[in-house]
C-alpha cells in the first residue's frame, strides 16, 4: 500500500464521478439529498453535483428512486442490491461509469473542497483505489486512521472483487482492499488545501447540518 505525493496538473485524464443518494436517513429522519444548506438555497444534492462537475465530465447519481432524482442534469443509476449499503452503491457506480476511474462521494457532503477534489483527480492513475485517511474512531470503537471511503476514487478493476464480497454477504467497504492496489493520499498535502478537513464533513444529523450551515456562512 503506497502513499501519493503532490502533483500539480489541471489537464488530468477524463474522470467519472458518482454521488450515492441512498434515501431516508434514520438519524436525519428524511432524505438528506433534498435538504437545503440554506433556507431557499440549493439542495445538498445540487451542491455536491456542482462540486463533482468541477473535476468530472461524466456525473452519476446512484439512487433507488430514480424518478425523484431526475432533473438534476446527471444520469441516475439504480442500486441493484439496495440492502447492501455503500459497497453495493460503489459497485453500481463503477458498473455504469463511462471512464476507468470514478470519484465517489455521499450526498450529504456540502463542504466538499474543489481544491481537494482537483488534487485527487490530478494524481497519476496507477491505483485501483485512491483514498484519504483521517484520525478517527471506527464503528468497532477503535481509535486510529479511518478510510474516507465516500471521498475516494475507484477504478473499474474494483468491480469484480466488490461483486465477490457482495456475493459472500459482506457489506464492509474495505473488505476488498487487500485484493487491489490501494494508494493513500498524503494527509499533509490535503491539510495544506483544507486545513480543517471540512471536505469530509457529513451532514447526517440535524446538528451536523446546522454546523455545516454555520461554516458555510463564515466562508461566504
The helix/strand/coil state of 124 is coil
In words, the CATH class of domain 10-219 is alpha beta
- CA 19, chain centre distance (Å): 6
Cα(69)–Cα(45) distance, integer angstroms: 9
Q: For residue 5, what pLDDT is reported?
A: 45
Cα(220)–Cα(216) distance, integer angstroms: 6
Cell matching residue 215: 461554516
SS (H, E, C) 29-74: CCEHHHCECCCCCCEHHHHHHHHHHCCCCEEEEEECCCHHHCCCCC
Q: With contact defined as beta carbons under 8 Å apart, do 184 and 146 qualify?
A: no
- Give residue-wise pLDDT tens across range 28-60: 556 677 777 777 778 889 999 999 999 999 999
- Give residue-wise pLDDT tens across range 62-120: 998 877 888 888 999 998 887 888 999 999 999 999 999 999 999 999 999 999 999 99
- Give residue-wise pLDDT tens across range 129-142: 999 999 886 666 66
- Give residue-wise pLDDT tens across range 153-198: 999 999 999 999 999 999 999 999 999 999 999 999 999 999 999 9
Amino acid at each position: 500500500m503506497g502513499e501519493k505525493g503532490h502533483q500539480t496538473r489541471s489537464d488530468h485524464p477524463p474522470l467519472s464521478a458518482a454521488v450515492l443518494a441512498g434515501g431516508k436517513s434514520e438519524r436525519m429522519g428524511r432524505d438528506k439529498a433534498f435538504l437545503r444548506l440554506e433556507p431557499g438555497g440549493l439542495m445538498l444534492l445540487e451542491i455536491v453535483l456542482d462540486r463533482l462537475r468541477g473535476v468530472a465530465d461524466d456525473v452519476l447519481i446512484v439512487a433507488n428512486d430514480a424518478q425523484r432524482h431526475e432533473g438534476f442534469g446527471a444520469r441516475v443509476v439504480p442500486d441493484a442490491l439496495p440492502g447492501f449499503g455503500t459497497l453495493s452503491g460503489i459497485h453500481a457506480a463503477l458498473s455504469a461509469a463511462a471512464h476507468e476511474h470514478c470519484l465517489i462521494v455521499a450526498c450529504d457532503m456540502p463542504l466538499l473542497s474543489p481544491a481537494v477534489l482537483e488534487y485527487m483527480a490530478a494524481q497519476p492513475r496507477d491505483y485501483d483505489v485512491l483514498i484519504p485517511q483521517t484520525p478517527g474512531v471506527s464503528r468497532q470503537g477503535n481509535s486510529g486512521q479511518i478510510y474516507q471511503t465516500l471521498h475516494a476514487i475507484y477504478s473499474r478493476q474494483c468491480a469484480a472483487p466488490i461483486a465477490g464480497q457482495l456475493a459472500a454477504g459482506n457489506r464492509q467497504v474495505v473488505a476488498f482492499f487487500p485484493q487491489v492496489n490501494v494508494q493513500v493520499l498524503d494527509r499533509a498535502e490535503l491539510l495544506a488545501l483544507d486545513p480543517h478537513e471540512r471536505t469530509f464533513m457529513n451532514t447526517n444529523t440535524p446538528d451536523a447540518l446546522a454546523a455545516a450551515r454555520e461554516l458555510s456562512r463564515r466562508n461566504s
